[in-house]
Amino acid sequence: MTAVTPDVAHADVRKSGRFLFRAAIVFLCAWVLVPIYFLLINTLSSPETVNAFPKSFIPEFDMGSLTFFANFAGMLTALKNSVIVACLTMVLSIAFGAPAGYALSRFDFRGKELFRVLILLTRAFPLPLLALPLAVLFIRTGLDDTLLGLALVHTTLAIPFAVLITFSLFSGIPIELEEAAWTLGCTRFTAFTKVVLPLIAPGIAASAIFAFVISWNEVFAAAVLTIQNRTLPAFLLQSLGTSPLHLKFAGGFILVVPALVFIFAVRKYLFAMWGIANR
Amino acid sequence: MNARTLPYLLILPVTLFLCVFFIYPFVLVAQLAFTQGDGFTLANFREVVGYWKFPISLKNTLLLAAIVVPIQLALSLAMATMVSKMEKGRDLVLYVWTIPLGISDLAAGIIWLAIFEQSGFLNSMMSGMGLIDKPISLLTYEHPWVIFIAIALAEIWRATAIMLVILVAGMGLIPKEYYEAAEVFGASPWKRFLKITLPMLRPSLQTALVLRVILAFEVFAVVIALGGSLFPVLMAETYAYQFDLLNSGAAAAIALIILAISIGFTLIILRLLRVPKGATI
């Protein structure tokens, strides 16, 4: 009889421990989700409700704020610019980054370490500051206030990630597969397009999406480099001081939506890239 | 094409790109910062440092980093440990916790503005609980510490995810055998965390901290969204010099100062958390 009591006490401790553990996880999920939910309420409320007090904690599903956002002069153009710049960034960073990722994973060459250091260095610098001298340079080359010019700067931000992700992806595909294709009559190029590329396509898509998000979210360089052709973050930032609350919230929500979708799409690859990059 | 020249051909585009858009701009920014009219001068730096707002924005930036980064480090370590102990629902929880990774600093600022503005959700909650009669304006110059807390919360909310991802990936690399052995010898969970997880996690901690600290010195849009000009930080000063004052020399000088601080802290972190040679996993 006496021997049972400590066991029961022990089980009690474990039970309450498990309860605390679950409570902490639920709390941290709420910590992430509740602020986004608040933004959703404001977005789906009429402009009057957004400026009223006190706030309801349930959305009223009124499209007033979103309509106001869509009709605000220049807003839809800014949204379109954002999409164009992000797509350009996506294409450029993969086009430049993926070959380098392949080279790093398949070849040992002189200067490989130096090249890796260069890539890692770009991550260790406050890159948006590059926009300042580039603003001057772009005026000289006619790239000032163009979407391509901004996309080039965003590509600099996205390239280290593109190289590291594709490097880890290519490393995950055994070189024997390629060698087998060579013995069966493929050239290096056709072996790549017929064997490696199909295997790696989803991963490439994930790193492209990552590049898209980096560009979509970037504020500082966008605000410095564009004047007429503002992207959405730059436009919102510029009008923060003067725009009404419901415009800010609707704009903020439009900025958040792709993030939710994209993080879901790339969640499998988020961890692989850092695991390799750390070593 | 042979295997000797191919790798160089493959890395050539990205190398050229980085030379033009990464290395060359840094040369240019240094040139801008050290010249005024013609010839070498420190006038830009004297002007920037002598401006009354500089000490405040430097203090604000450093203070914000000093408060936010340690909290994020503790929080992301705790979250990563929790994730590693989970079996059911691990993927869902990880997805939720990494959502802020895709959210920009501007959007995060706007999200927390919805909570802290005068007719916002914090006031609504307080009046619902009967703590206040009418909404109080929180983000004004009368309560600088409320602005500070709001910015710090928004930063912690937004940027803990990037550290979490790096640490979860790092924890995945630690061999399970170490923990099993420690359990056999009767080490408590806390002791296992201190003696196995932390030391083995050093490379990931290094990466996470370097990245996070650099981003902390770049804090900009969150501050503009929540505090406007009431809470000056270095990056906002750079922006103001470039746009409002149209003084790109001074903007470049502040940029170099931010860069120097970033490099300084990167070196300190690398030194403090250096990985002994041959001790990697």
How far is residue B206 from each of residues A125, A173, A249, measured CA to CA in Å?
Answer: 15, 28, 36
Torsion sign over Cα B18, B24, B27, B30? negative
pLDDT in tens, A155-211: 998 898 888 888 888 888 888 888 888 899 888 888 888 888 888 888 888 888 888
CA separation for the pair B175, A269 (Å, rounded): 21
How far apart, in whole angstroms, are the C-alpha atoms of residue A273 and residue B255?
A: 30
In the predicted structure, residue A270 carries a pLDDT above the cut 80: no
- B100/A159 Cβ within 8 A: no
The answer to whether the Cβ–Cβ distance between B28 and A133 falls below 8 Å is yes
Distance from CA of A124 to the nearest CA of B (A): 7
Separation of alpha carbons A228 and A225, rounded Å: 10
With an 8 Å Cβ cutoff, are B32 and A136 in contact?
Answer: yes
User: Best mutation site among A29, A36, A55 for testing chain B: the one with the most B CBs within 10 Å?
Assistant: A55
Give pLDDT, residue B69.
94
Question: What amino acid occupies position A275?
Answer: G
Average pLDDT, chain A: 83
Global pTM value: 0.86
- Chain B: nearest CA to A130, how far in angstroms? 6
Spatial contact of B261 and B217, defined as CB atoms under 8 Å apart: yes
Q: How confident is the model at residue A277 (pLDDT cuts 50, 70, 90)?
A: very low
**Among A157, A167, A155, A170, which residue's Cα sits nearest to residue A277?**
A167
Q: What distances in angstroms separate CA A95 from CA A116, B6, B11, B14, B265, one per listed residue?
A: 18, 16, 11, 9, 33
* pLDDT of amino acid B68: 94
Alpha-carbon span A133 to A153, nearest angstrom:
11
How far away is chain B from the Cα of A229, in angstroms, using its nearest Cα? 16
**CA diameter of chain B:** 79
- Assigned architecture for domain B25-106+144-272: Orthogonal Bundle (1.10)
pLDDT tens across the length of chain B (281 residues)? 567 788 898 889 999 998 888 888 888 888 888 887 777 778 888 888 888 888 899 999 999 999 999 999 999 999 999 988 888 888 889 889 988 988 988 999 999 988 888 777 888 888 878 777 777 777 777 788 889 999 999 999 998 988 898 888 888 888 888 888 998 998 888 898 888 888 888 888 888 888 888 888 888 889 988 887 788 898 888 888 887 787 888 888 888 888 888 888 888 888 888 766 555 44
- Tell me the C-alpha distance between B63 and B59, whole Å: 6
- What confidence score (pLDDT) does residue A90 get? 93
Are the beta carbons of A155 and B266 separated by less than 8 Å? no
Taking the Cβ of residue B18 and every Cβ of chain A, the question of whether any pair is shorter than 8 Å is answered with yes
Contacts of A33 in chain B (CB under 8 A): 96, 99
Q: What is the ipTM of this complex?
A: 0.85
